[in-house]
Each structure stands twice: as structure tokens, then as C-alpha cells.
Structure 1
Amino acid sequence: MPPAPRLPPRPTTPAAPRRRLGWPARIGLGLLALPLLAAASLAGAVWWSLPAAEGSLRLPGLAAPVAVSLDAQGIPRIAAGSERDAALALGWLHARDRMFQMELMRRGAAGRLAELVGEPALRTDRFTRTLGLARRAAADLATLPAETQDLLEAYAAGVNAWIAARGRFAAPEFLALGAPEPWRPEHSLLWGKVMGLWLSGNWRSELDRARLAPLLPPERMRDLWPEDASPGDPRVALDPAALGRLAAVLPRFPGLGTLPASASNAWAVAAGRSASGAPLLASDPHLGFQAPILWYLARIDLPDGRMLAGATSPGVPFLVIGRNASLAWGFTTTHSDTQDVFVERLAGPGSYETPEGPRPFAVIEETIAVRGAAPVTLRVRETRHGPVISDLEGMAAAEGSVLAVAMANLAPADTAAAGLHALNRAGSVAAARGAAALITSPSQNLMLADAAGHIGLLLTGRTPRRRAGDGTLPVPGWDGSHDWTGWVPFEALPHAEDPPGGMLANANNRVAPAGHPVFLGRDWFADWRFRRIAEVLAAQPKHDAAGFAALQRDTVSPFAQALTGPESLLRRLPPQPGAAGAAQALLLGWDGDVAAERPEPLIFNAWLRRLGRLALAEGGVPAGAWSANAGFLQRVLAPDGGGAAWCGGDCRALAARALAEAVAELQASDGPDPAGWRWGRRHVARFEHPLFRFLPVLGPLTRLEAATGGDEWTVRRGGPRGGEGPESWVDVHGAGLRLVVDLADPEAALAVIATGQSGHPLSPHWSDLLGRWRDGGMLRLGRQATGPTTRLELRLQ
């Protein structure tokens, strides 16, 4: 075959010269790329801070390998060979999922929040440094039993193993803040110090009384505090204006590092009132909402059938609320009066008067580091009664005097950690008595049920004995006339075990029966939640776990029923015109169910809020000096006109005015027709990151919300934020944990928390329990999880 013909070469066009970017363009592109690179690097770092879902790692300090299985919700089952190994593993898990929450707790208690957030936290830091929570926790550690100290040390070792391995990747917040400091055993005791502080606030009530006593006649003081008949010591004259300034510098919710007024529910029925033939127990503590929630669910299995299942709190190596193999427990706050304000007379520039003569103040110099500003030096003075709180405002209580506060939760040798440790080990109500006696702070009602069929309600915490007075007003400190003389013996407190009716309940109502020789205090929460719980329990001969869980979500308000019922003042008001009349008709036809999908709860709560403010202003109470509570509102709305002094002589007219103003305000935010309003549209449970909530982008991105029913007076408590405007109805306080135990099932507890197990906003467990919590679902904390699990193996170093 002849060769193919050769084609002539194809003509070519000369290549265009390549244009190179000049240096200004290159710099410009580089500058444009820098934000993208920074964003990508930040995203990678945040992703890297997510903990691994499974794997195997070596953990220093273990005596034997520990197996951890994580269920589909991230709830761990810990199988350990000893209590110490379990505590070490729990410390590692708490740090893995909630290290920043733990960091905020210890910094808040130690007065070191300003190091993170700057001057906005100075008020809280000054307060906690003045009280000396960190100093006292460190001193308490040495007084604890050796076995409790050993468990605290093991827990700290687990936390530190996570910190050492991850550094600033221990949680996403530390990417900006730097690696957390090592955890020390006394840091776990700070949790109890914080709870003791925020769950016992009687000293503030004393200051409120002292502020208002010179301004109001005695009969109005008795309306604000119905059982307050004490005129106070005439030698103690306090300046209301100075007390108002002191109140302004004290931390208050929802400020950083604070909690709202506390409340909780717990109840139990004996075997004879249980469908399963074994006791039942329910517990749902009410604290401020945050993301993540305070609680962390876990189950621990030890050799010989020992187990723990329920709610832990990151920072603490013990089960706080839950069960072991044969005992279940929960807590409510007693609200005993365990704090007193003393007026101390000065005896010179550096001393104060005592019955034995002048004594120098104990002085502690505190330096508070402040992010972005110069350090602040705080000079803390302490008396024989306690720290001087009037120094916070730089005030003198009266000429030549200062205010000091005595708090049972600040007393030395606090053994609450040993008590909780013993409670975790107790196998019966009888054995729990010894544990309860060790829980020195805070003052709590401990609800119990055991597998042998017993139930009990035991009071914990130190209750002071006073030489004189009832602790309702500040008292002289210079002469010893009102000094504390010791603590009420544990056995003398009003405990209850195996009552004839087979039922026990508490919802922060008064626990001491009439005529009981031990004085616990004069200020108690209204008992509306308790009444509803008792009503439901009494209505059925037998109960089961599902019924207990339903009662925890109950939104029927006996308080609303009383104020809108046949004998109420509301029914004596003349028909109102327009939208106010439509709202009035809705209230008159309402059954008192504070359901999210109903308009009446919004009308009712807005009406009472407006009425309370109008009545207090009419009665001469300065704005912000006191908030209307259920007892006061009942007094104002009494059909017999007993509250006329607060209404300008006519409470019907004031109630009508309050209704009209409340309806007008709601029309501006929720539309013209009251029938179209919905409680759940305004009453939204909100869970926010403690720091990110202050940032314009991260705050909304990390916020969790759920429309909820209930209010201050329902079993399903939903405490509004307060203040003015639509945001004032946001639900910020309630049951972040619900737990139910049927002791007929030896293997499990039913529980749910409001957010998720993880404190990492990008984790699937940041918010995966919110819907279940909102809708009333529960999780079974059995030995074996239902559904898919992942496994972690913690091995010996």
C-alpha cells in the first residue's frame, strides 16, 4: 500500500503574550482569600472539637478497663469494676460533653467570670468573692471522709484526662479562650456552694422588709408578708435609700451566673397505692433554663448488681436525682430560713463591737482579673457572723455600722458531698436517714422510696437555732442577743415516713405541721402546685409510672380556678366594653387549664401582672422593691374587699382597669381579637447558651425554643422572664429534668432532659431531646439501651 500523502504544515498563529498579575492585584486577591481561609480554618477547628463517637483510649488511673456504650441520644451506660473507676469514667464523659458548662460553673462560683467576659460580670464576681465560696470549698475538702475525697480525686483525674488530650479543643468555646485549667477535687464542691447560695435567699427578703418597713404601715406589711408580725429591733434603723442601692448591685436573675427563684415537685406512693405492687417516685426540679440544661443523664453498673441511673450534674461525681438497685430519690427546696442579716457597730476603722469587746475584721484582699480592662482589687471584710455585704455598695447600714450576713451554707465543715455519696450507696429509706443527716447544705426535702415498700420525706441541711427573733428582719450583731447558738439536730426536724394514706408530696409548700417545735421560717411558696398533686393522687386508688409522668405535665391551675370561679371578684365586675369584655367572657368560661393552645392563660397572667403593679404603686411600694405573689394577689382580689387599702378603696374598679390595660397591651402585640391569642405563642420555653446569647449571630443560631403550657402555679411549671413587652412572657424557669421510678422494675428509671446530652452546638445531641421533653416523652435508662449504640472502651494507661 502506498504511503499516505503528507499534508503541508498547518500555519500557526503567534501565541499571545501571557499577562502576569501585578503585585497590587496579587495582594488584593490574597487579602480576599484570607477571610475565606480563616473561616475554613475556624470551621475545621470547630469540627475538630466535636468528640469522637466511638473508639478506644487509655485513661490514667483506672484499675480495670471500663466499657461505655452511648445510645442513640448520647446517654452513656458505664460498666466499671469499681465505684472509683466509674467516677473516673464519669469525669471523662462530663468533660467530653460539657466541659465549658463545668468551666462556667467553677468560674462563677470562684468569682472569675470577668476573666472571660469582662466588666459585665464584675457584679457577680464581687458578690461571690465577698462570700468566699472558693475559699470555703477548699477548706471543706479536707474535712470529708477519705473515701469521698478519693472519689472526688478520681473524678478530677477523668476530667483532666480529657483536658490533657484535647487542650483548647476540649470544647468549641475554648478555641477562643485557650485550654481550660486542670480540674481539682474542690472544684466539684463548688457546685454545692452555688446551689446552697441560689436556693436559699431569705437574707434578701430581710433586706426587702427592712427597706419597706419605714415606708408602709404595719397592716400593709402584713399583706406583703402575711405571717410577719415582728416590728423589728428598734435599735436597728436602716436607711431605705441605702438598702435600695445595695439591692441594685446584688446579682439578680437573669444576669450572668444567677438562678431564678427556685421551685420543684416530688411525690411518692407506697406499694399499696401502686398498680405494680411496689412504690413509685416522681421528681422534677425547677431551675433556670439554659443550653445545655444543668442535667446529664447516665447509668452506671458495678459488680454484684449495684447500679445507678438518673440525673448527674457536670462537675459532680455523684448521681444527684435517680435510683440505685433498691432506692429512688428526688429533691425539692425546703425554703427554710437559714440566713440572717446582722447590723454590726464599728469600733474604729478596722474593728467592730462584740459582747467580748472590739474585734478586728478578718480582711481578705481579692484581685479580680477583667478581660479587656485593668484588674480590680476587692477588700473583703468578715465578722464573726459572716462577710460584710454592705461593702458591695460602699454603704453604711446606719451611722457607724455595716451589714454582715450569716449563712448556713457558708458554715465550715460542709459535708454535703459525703451525704450525697452515702445516698448513692443507701439501700433503703432507713439507710438514707444517715445520708440525709450529712447533707448540710442546702436545705432540701429529700423524697424517698425503696424496694421494700417504704416511702419517706426527710429534711436535709443545717437549720440554725436563734437566741432570739425569727430571722425576718436585720438584727443587732454587737450584743449577741440574736446570735445563732447551734444547729437543730437532724432527728428533731419534721420528717415523715410511711404515712397512713400511703402518699407523700412536696411542691415547696410548708413542711412543718402546725405546732411543730422546730422553727423553720415564715416565708413559704404558695401551695397551689401541692394542692393539684394531692388532688390527682387522691382521685385514684392505684397509680403507675405513665400516670406519674402525665401528672408532671399537668397544666390545670387551682389558683386560676379560685380567681375566676363562682365566688371570685372577677364575676362581680360589670361587663367590660369591647375587647376587654371579650377577654372577660373568656375568663369567666375558662376551666383553669393553662394549655399552650388557649387564649385564657395569656389574658389571666397579663391581667394579674398589671393588677399587681397597679396595687403596689397605689399602696406606696417603690417600683422594683417587691413583686406581687399569689398571696398578695388573692388579698387584692378578695371578694370581701379586704384588700381595699391597695386599691384606693375600690378593688373592683382597679381590677377592671387592670384588665382593660392588659388587654390593650396584648392587642398591640397579638392582634385585636382575644379569642385568637395563644399562650404558647408568647410562653415559649427558651434555652440559650450562657455566653453566646449575648452575641448577635451566635445567640440566635444556638437558641432552642418550644411552645409550652403551664405557668407559675401549675405542676408543669413555666416561669416567665418578667419585665415588659412580649418577651416578658418567655418561659425561662421550669423542669429541665423529669424522672419517674417504679421500683417494681429493678433495672430502669424513666427520665428526660430538656435539651440534649451535649454542650457542643454542632453535635446531634445538642437539642435532640427538646421535642421529646416538650411532648412528654420519657427515656428508659435500663442496662441495655434500645436502638443503635456506639461503644467507647476506656483502658488502663
Structure 2
Amino acid sequence: MTEPGGFATSYFAPICHLPGMHRFFRRLRRVLAALAVLVLLVAAAIAGAIWWTLPGSSVDARIPGLSAPVDITYDADWVPRIHAASALDAAAALGYVHARDRMFQMELMRRAASGRLSEIAGPATLPIDRMMRTLGLRHHAVENLAALPADARAMLEAYARGVNAYIDRKGRFAAPEFLVLGAPEPWEPADSLLWAQTMGLWLSMNWRQEMARQAVAGRVPAPVLEQLWPRQPDVPLPSAMNKLPTRFAAAAARLLAVLPRFPAPYTLPQTASNEWAVDGRHTATGVPLLAGDPHLAFGFPGIWYLARIDTPGHVLAGATAPGVPFLVLGHNGHIAWTFTTTGADVQDVFVEKPVGRSEYQTPDGPKPFTLREERIGIRGEPDQLMLVRETRHGPVISDLDNPSGPILAVAMANLQPDNTAAAGLLALNRAQSVAEAGKAAAEISSPVQNLLVADAKTIGLFSTGRVPLRKAPENGLPVPGDGSHDWIGWASGDALPHYVAPASGRLVNANEPDWPADFPVPMAQDTFGDWRSQRIRQMLATTDRHTPADFAVMQLDVVDLFARKVLPALLAVTDLKGRALAAQAALRGWDGTAAMDQPAPLIFNAWMEAFYRAVLAHAGIPLTAGGPTADFLSYVLSPAGAHWCNNDCAPMLRSSLTDAVRELSSRFGTDVQAWRWGAAHQAVFANPLLRAIPVLGPLTTITIPSPGDDNTVDRGGMNAALQSVHGAAYRGVYDLANLDRSLFVITPGQSGNPFSSHARDFVLRWRDGATITLGPEAARTTGAVRLTP
């Protein structure tokens, strides 16, 4: 029997006795040992570099221009409390703390809005870069900065000083990503305006919908297109849509294919947010309560950053946006506020008539295009040159597909001169009453939002922004650029919907229209249903003595009223077999609650998605032309809309359930009762740039089973795989009796550094409904920063 290792010893013994072999093996061992040491040193260097990107717990730093020292303390959740001698000092300090925790997020925001992502990401981000260069968001931000009032400009400049102080201090160690990319460029005041420019682009309507309709115009009758966005019973249908030549349909279809759309990275969903408030007649304290939770795209890090800022006689607490020196959502010690999207139509596509190669027709004769050359840097490839053409209406977006084809230019309210959104948000931060907040709303020129606000006595809802007045009614399609549909002015301020101290004592909005059918200003043709606001009103009616805890519970409600409405039609389908029959049986007795531990929400949402696709395919309509799924299918499954199914939807419901069950079985097994909504409906928080990179993708992606769906108050907006990709990444409940008792939560965490312990620490609490307060003092301090001039 050979001893362990005997074979090796006997096999190599003759070799080891060859002349010089002992020296060879000694050298080999030394080389291997040196390599091992080198690997350990490299690993240690990488670990040390990453460690150096983490913010220290105790820091002293300088910011040029401070009028006095600023003290910042961090609580157990890494929420900073900033104590500054002035608003300008506070803005500089906020820039510093934003850069400490979110510098790479800020870098991506300004690159995405400026069309410079491909410089670091390569050709994968060319579509978003080309679109942003064409729209010229950066150019407009620079122009708007120069036109801002001096106080707003000073805040932006102070914020930039704070950001740059951190960049100067840390260089390429400002975030782990900069270890590879190099130190970020200095922050400029105009960079902060890009955040609002981006929001104005994505939270406005409806240039995509116009092109989507045009893509099928001529193949689908106008009344059919109108029904894709069904109206509420008291809202009349618009007059029949114009018919443009069919050659524009092909151009629109091609253009839609090259434009980024949600849920692609750097895009946002069209609908966003819940908000409600009650006055003192409906609260336990006799003082108003307000709740708000904006629904935007999930990401890692999240879009929001909690902070409390104290200056003499003033406080700001709530959600800030990295890159911006103002409080976006929260309270200032006197009022509390939140926003939802109105869906107002502030974008139009114009079809221009070419004249020769360099001009287009206007009512005053031919006019040359305004030309601008853009050079896009592409990592690993030669730069790409773009010639951007603009007409009197706006940039020529059809050049993104085919410069030789029909000329489609887009007019957008957020691209118009004199955008004073920054000044308006500053005025809102300073407002001390509902009335003053209403005046600030008129200054927030873009986007058009529902600003819900409360003070200690009153509640009010105001429309921000400006809505274009048109020569001819908006018809849901691209319009001729001959002057017949030009914008001739603006409606803003008191000309837009607003409500103060309503007789009911309640104000609610969840993206449904808040204007009557006969409102004098045409607000929008395409609007969204009121599924969530119906549910909010139901819950508000259950008691007249609400507390902040009651409102926080309401924000977690997962009852889907759309499901409740259409379930009878689904349960009436007959002749089902096998697992399809078992799936239908799982819906019997279900109350429409989209809980994680049930099969019913999974079956319902998969069935409705399959049915929606089947109905559109039957009509020859691409998915890109469809309107809101719940609104449309509710109409289709009613007697008025049954013609979409040849007056009998049962066969299409039967086949779509079979298709949905087949897909679910391949993903979750054949036992229908074992299916769970949470297994499919995972909330996904991913870095928009790093998500697809091996190793880095998993490190910067967080998934967690979550309840709700696209129609519940606790919203979990879905992608094609039924994952939750947008919803309430921030929730706030504001107690006007004592604003320091207000409740907050964000997700996934305060830090954007994937190696930080505070990058993910809100995720479970956010899902399960836990909240924090932002009082003047933290219960436990975990970090401190002292900033000096």
C-alpha cells in the first residue's frame, strides 16, 4: 500500500535529483510566493481605494464662500441634519452632503440630460444621447440660468461650491465608479437645472402618443384610436382626428422605434403619484394632515435623499434630489407640500413642409432651419457628429431616424424660454401659507403638476407650470406646421385648476383629471383613470378623525379596484380546462387585494396583460399605440366596448388565460395553488448604467418581493416580466399640528455607494410600512461634519 502522497513522491523523485532542479523549484516557489504577495497587495490596494470612497464618520472640511461654520450630524439612518447660519450656507452644505453620498448619481443625471453618457458607457447609450442632444436640454439650462432672479442663481452657485469642495477634497475617490472613470468634472450651477429639465420632459405628455397614433393612422378608424384612452362618463370625446398622409405613419413608426421609452434606463413612467389632504374637521387634532408619495422609476440609488436643514427662523425637512439645492417634497415648519402629475398636454408634434434643402415653409414664407452641430464622444469608438435642425416650433426629432424623410418637429413647454422652475421651487421653500404656496406654484413653469399644500388652517391644490393655448383644438395626432395649430399663448396661475379650502374638507389626486369637462382651458385629451383616487376616497370616508398613522397605513393599501370591477367578467368565462380552470378557480372569492402570498394577483395581472395584447393584436394596433391598460380593458369588458371582441370577449379571454397560464407554469411550476404574487412581483432597484455589467450588476441591484400592482395605492408598476419597476420610492405624511411628528421613508437607502452600510437599509422598512421622523435632534448620532469658510 502506498502512503498518501507516495505516488507523487516516487514519480517526481528522479526529476528532483536531476542537476539544477533543486534551484529551479526554489526559484519557482519564490516566484509563486511573490505572485501571491502581489495579488494580496493588489487586493489590499483595491479594498483600500474602495474604503477611501466611503464618507468618514467625523470630518472637517472647507467650502469657500461660507459666511459662518456649518455643523452637520447624521442619525442612525444616515439622514443629515444641517445647521447653517444662512440659506446660502445651507445650500452649499447640501451640495457637499449630496456629493458625499450620491456624486456618481449626480454625474449620471447631468450626463444623461446633456447627452454625454456614451463618453463613459459606449455605444449602448447612444439613443438617449442623441435624443437629449436633439432636444438641447443642456443649452436650455444654460439660457435659463442667465434669466433667473439673482437669489435663485445665488442658491445654485452656493450649491455648486459645496459639490466642488467635495470633488476637490476626494477627486477620483468621490465614489467607487470614479476610481475607473477618473475624477468628476467640476459642478456648474446650470447642472442643477438639468434635473428639472429632465422631469419636465418625462412627466409631460403627449408627443409619443401623438406619434403612436400617427403610426397606425389610415389603418385604424379615428373612433377606434380615441377609445384606446377611454374618457370618464362626463368627459366628451374630441372631434374626429385629422388624417395626415399615410407616409407620415411609416415615419412615426420608425421614429418611435429609436426613441427611448420607459422602463429603459434614464426614462420615467408617464403617471406618477398619490396625494391627499384633509382639513381639521377630519383629523384627531383639529389641524390638517397631508400625505404624498410620488411614483417614479425605481433605481439604485433611489431618486430621493432625506435631509433636515435648520437656519435661523426656518426649517426644511423631507425629500431632496441630489443635484438640486432645494427641498422638493416635505415641509418648512409652516406648510407641507407634495406633487402629482396632471397629464396636461404640453407637447405637440408639427409636420413641417420642406422648401429646398435648407428651408421650411412658414406662414411668412420660407425660413432657414436653425442649425447646431453636436459632437458625441463614444467610449471605445470615434466621435459621432450630429447636425441638429430646429424650426420655429422646436427641434426636428425625425432626424433621429431619417433626415431625408418627413420633417417632424416637437414643441415642448419645458423647452421654451424663461423657465423659472428653480425660482418657483425656491419661493415654495420660503412660503409660509397656502396662499403664498399658490403664488409660488405659478412660478414653477415646468412641469405641469398638482401641488397639494397645507398649513395649520387650510388645504389647497394648485396647478404649477403653463399650458399652451392653441389656434385649433389638440386632436391627438401630429399637426401641420403651417400655422393653423400654432401655440398663441399660455395659461398659468389662476387660469389653471386650483382649489382652496373645499367645502368637503378633503382634496385627493392620483393623476386623474382634476378639472371639469367644461373647463375653459383645454388641459388634455388623453387622461388617466381614477382607480387609486377612488380607493383613497373610500378609505378617507371610513373615519372623520384621521391620524398620521392612519395616513401611513393608507399609503400601504393594495386593493385593486380595477380587479374588483372586471372580476365578474373573468369568472363568467366557461369551457376552461386543466390549469386554466384551476387558475380561474383561484380568483373566486378573491377581493382584489394584491398581497404577496397569494396566487390570485399573479393570475389576474398575467391574464390582463395577455388579454390586452390579444385585443390590440386583433385590432391591428401595436402595443406602442395603446393607452392605460386598466382604463382600456375596463372599457372593453363593458357593454360599450364589447365590439373590440366582436361583441363577445369570452373566446379572447379564454385563449389569453390559457396563454398566461402556460407562461406562468414555465416560470413557477404546474401547481397553481403554489404560485405567489411576490415570486414574480419583485421590486427591482438597479443602477441604470452598471446593471448589465458582470459582477457590478449584481452588486448594484436590489430585489425584494413586494405587494401591490399598477392600480393600487401602494403602487408597484410593472414591466413585461411583472416585476415592480416604479412606485412610491418616497412616502411622506405631514402633521400640521406638529410638523416634527411628520413621517418619512425612502428606498433603498441614503447612500449611493454600494459598499456603504446605508445603501440598502431602508428597503425592508419601506416595503413593510415603517417610517422615521426628522425632528430637530437625532436620537442617535452616527457621523458629523464641520464645514468652515
TM above 0.5: yes
Q: Which residue of 2 aligns with 1:390?
A: 398
**Residue 721 (structure 1) aligned to one of 719, 731, 735:** 719
Output aligned runs, 1:196-235, within 5 Å: 196-226=200-230, 229-234=238-243
Aligned partner of residue 369 in structure 1, secondary structure:
strand
- Secondary structure at the counterpart of residue 654 of structure 1: helix
Deviates more, 1:178-187 or 1:47-56: 47-56
CA deviation profile, 1:70-113 (whole Å, cap 9, x unmatched)? 00110001111100100010000000010000000000000000
> Which of 160, 165, 168 is equivalent to 1:161?
165
Q: Greater shift after overlay, 359-368 or 689-698?
A: 689-698
Q: Matched residues in 2 for 1:314 and 1:131: separation?
A: 23
Q: Counterpart of 2:740 in 1: which secondary structure?
A: coil
Q: Residue in 1 aligned with 2:729?
A: 736
1:509 to 2:527 alignment: no
Question: Which of residues 495, 499, 506 in structure 2 aligns to 1:496?
Answer: 499
Which string of whole-angstrom CA distances, capped at 9 and with x for unpartnered residues, describes residues 28-63 of structure 1? 655565444323221211111111111322222111
User: What displacement does 1:631 show?
Assistant: 2.1
Q: In structure 2, what is the equivalent of residue 357 of structure 1?
A: 365
- Whether the aligned pair in 2 keeps the contact of 1:643 and 1:651 (CA below 8 Å) is no
Kindly, what percent of the aligned residue pairs are identical? Answer: 52
Secondary structure of the residue that 1:692 maps to in structure 2?
coil
Instruction: Pick which of 663-672 and 643-652 moved more.
Output: 643-652
- The one-letter code sitting in structure 2 at the alignment partner of 1:542 is R
Aligned to 2:487: 484
Q: Point out the more displaced range, 425-434 or 29-38.
A: 29-38
1:594-609 matches, within 5 Å, as 594-609=594-609
Q: 1:249 to 1:186 in 2, by over 3 A?
A: same
Q: Is the 8 A contact 1:210 1:238 kept in 2?
A: no
Cα distance in 1 for residues equivalent to 2:542 and 2:290: 17
Q: Identify the range of structure 1 (359-368 vs 742-751) with the bigger mean alpha-carbon deviation.
A: 742-751
Q: Which residue of 1 aligns with 2:13?
A: none
For 1:268 and 1:396, the matched residues in 2 are separated by 52
CA RMSD between the two structures: 1.8
What is the 5 A alignment of 1:164-563?
A: 164-226=168-230, 229-234=238-243, 237-304=246-313, 306-395=314-403, 401-451=406-456, 453-478=457-482, 480-563=483-566
In structure 1, C-alpha distance between the alignment counterparts of 2:218 and 2:21, rounded to whole Å: 93
Contact 1:409 1:442 in 2 (8 A): yes
Normalised by the length of structure 1, the TM-score is 0.93
Cα distance between partner residues in 2 of 1:665 and 1:115: 40
Determine the C-alpha separation between the residues in 2 that align with 1:685 and 1:375. 37
For residues 665-713 of structure 1, what are the alpha-carbon distances to aligned partners after superposition, in whole Å with 9 as ceiling and x for unaligned? 2122112222211101110111112222111212112321221110010
1:629 is matched with which residue? 629
Q: Structure 1 residues 614, 489: closer, same or farther in 2, change over 3 A?
A: closer
Task: Give the aligned residue type for 1:184.
Answer: E
C-alpha distance in 2 between matches for 1:35 and 1:627: 56
Query: Aligned partner of 1:602: which letter?
Result: L
Q: 2:105 — aligned with what?
A: 101
Q: Secondary structure at the match of 2:337?
A: strand
- C-alpha displacement at 1:255, in angstroms? 2.5
1:582 aligns with 2:582: yes
Measured after TM superposition, the shift of residue 182 of structure 1 is 0.3
Corresponding residue number in structure 2 for 1:673? 671
Q: Say if 1:46 and 1:235 are closer, same or farther in 2 by CA, change over 3 A.
A: closer
**Residues in 1 aligned to 2:407 and 2:598: alpha-carbon distance in whole angstroms:** 51
Q: Equivalent residues in 2 for 1:587-666 (5 A)?
A: 587-622=587-622, 624-626=624-626, 629-638=629-638, 640=639, 642-666=640-664
Please say if residues 612 and 628 of structure 1, whose CA atoms lie closer than 8 Å, have aligned partners that are also in contact: no
What letter matches 1:507 in structure 2?
A: A
| Distance of 1:757 and 1:88 partners within structure 2 | 19
Secondary structure at 1:487 match in 2:
strand
Stretches of structure 1 lacking an aligned partner (at least 5 in a row): 1-15, 723-727
Deviation at 1:220, TM superposition (A): 2.1
**Is the Cα–Cα contact under 8 Å of residues 429 and 449 in structure 1 kept in the other structure?**
yes
Deviation, 1:26, is 5.5
Q: Deviations over 1:612-663 (max 9, x none)?
A: 111111111136543661122123222x3x4444324531111122112212
Match of 1:12 in 2: none
Cα distance in 1 for residues equivalent to 2:719 and 2:571: 29
Find out whether 1:753 has 2:761 as its counterpart.
no
Provide the C-alpha distance between the structure 2 equivalents of 1:644 and 1:534, rounded to a whole number of angstroms. 29
Indicate the larger mover: 119-128 or 702-711. 702-711
Give the match's secondary structure for 1:534: helix
Per-residue CA distance 1:553-602 (angstroms, 9 max, x = gap): 100111111111xxx32232225222222221221211111111111100
The 5 A counterparts of 1:697-708 are: 697-708=695-706
Does structure 2 retain, via aligned residues, the 8 Å contact 1:292–1:758?
yes
Using the alignment, how far apart are the partners of 2:302 and 2:439 within structure 1? Answer: 30
> Which amino acid counterpart does residue 138 of structure 1 have in structure 2?
V
* Other-structure match for 1:89: 93
Once the 2 structures are TM-superposed, how far is the Cα of residue 186 of structure 1 from its aligned partner?
0.5
Distance change >3 Å, CA 623–CA 448, structure 1 → 2: closer
- Tell me the distance in 1 between the aligned counterparts of 2:24 and 2:117: 53
| Pick aligned residue for 1:763 from 749, 756, 762 | 756
Q: Distance in 1 between matches of 2:495 and 2:627?
A: 34
| Matches for 1:140-151 after TM superposition, within 5 Å | 140-151=144-155
Runs (4+) of structure 1 exceeding 6 A deviation are 20-25
Match of 2:14 in 1: none
Partner SS, residue 605 of structure 1: helix
Stretch moving more, 215-224 or 687-696: 215-224
The partner residue of 2:689 within 688, 691, 694 is: 691
Asked if the contact 2:439–2:493 (Cα under 8 Å) also holds between the matched residues in 1, the reply is no
Q: Which amino acid aligns with 1:391?
A: D
Contact 1:583 1:674 in 2 (8 A): yes
- The AA in structure 2 aligned to 1:754 is T
